[in-house]
Amino acid sequence: MADLINEYAGRGIMLPRTAFELAESIRDFVVAYEGPTLVGCGALHIYPPDAAEIRSLAVDSGAQKSGIGRLIPEALEQEASEFGLAKVFAFTYVPDFFSKLGFSQVDRSELPLKAWKDCLKCPKFKACGENAVLKKY
């Protein structure tokens, strides 16, 4: 997973994750395989009392346009629903992708303040181009 996520991070469109960080949050992740090959992953990070963030959503370049990019957030949303959460959000450079999944662009101020903790270690903190997207249930 680190290789897949950090490929995106190397292009400046996702925060890098260390093996240690991934091990700490491994239960947050869903993964997609084609045979023995990992082709996608994404995590659901819960912010009590009623929200969760979709993060580290990555699909191998060879598996893009196969529907995996849609299946992962749908699985994460199902999990959020099972936990009784009222909303799911993400920070993204591709808001159109999330709008196809029913998310709306929102001002960052609508999101839990704790979600910004990763922003503090981002090299783009002062000049971020990510969009906040939100889906309420």
Q: What SS3 class is residue 15?
A: coil
**pTM for this structure?**
0.89
Supply the range of the domain harboring residue 14: 2-136
pLDDT of the residue at 80: 97
For residue 9, pLDDT beyond 80: yes
How much is the average pLDDT of 104-133? 77
Residues 85, 48: Cα–Cα separation, whole Å: 9
pLDDT at 110: 86
Question: Nearest 10 degrees: CA dihedral of 112, 113, 115, 120?
Answer: 170
3-state SS, residue 103: coil
CB-count burial class (<10 Å; 0-12, 13-18, 19+) for 59: buried
pLDDT score for 48: 87
pLDDT tens sequence across 63-114:
988 999 999 999 999 999 999 999 999 999 899 999 999 999 999 888 887 6
CATH of the domain at 112: 3.40.630.30
Could you write out the DSSP letters of every residue in 68-98?
HHHHHHHHHHHHHHHTT-SEEEEEES-HHHH
Query: How far, CA to CA in Å, does 117 sit from each of 24, 113, 130?
Result: 16, 8, 15
User: Into how many domains does the chain fold?
Assistant: 1
Q: How many other C-beta atoms are found inside a 10 Å radius of the C-beta of residue 105?
A: 13
Sheet holding 37-47, edge to edge: 29-34, 37-47, 51-59, 87-92, 131-136, 104-106
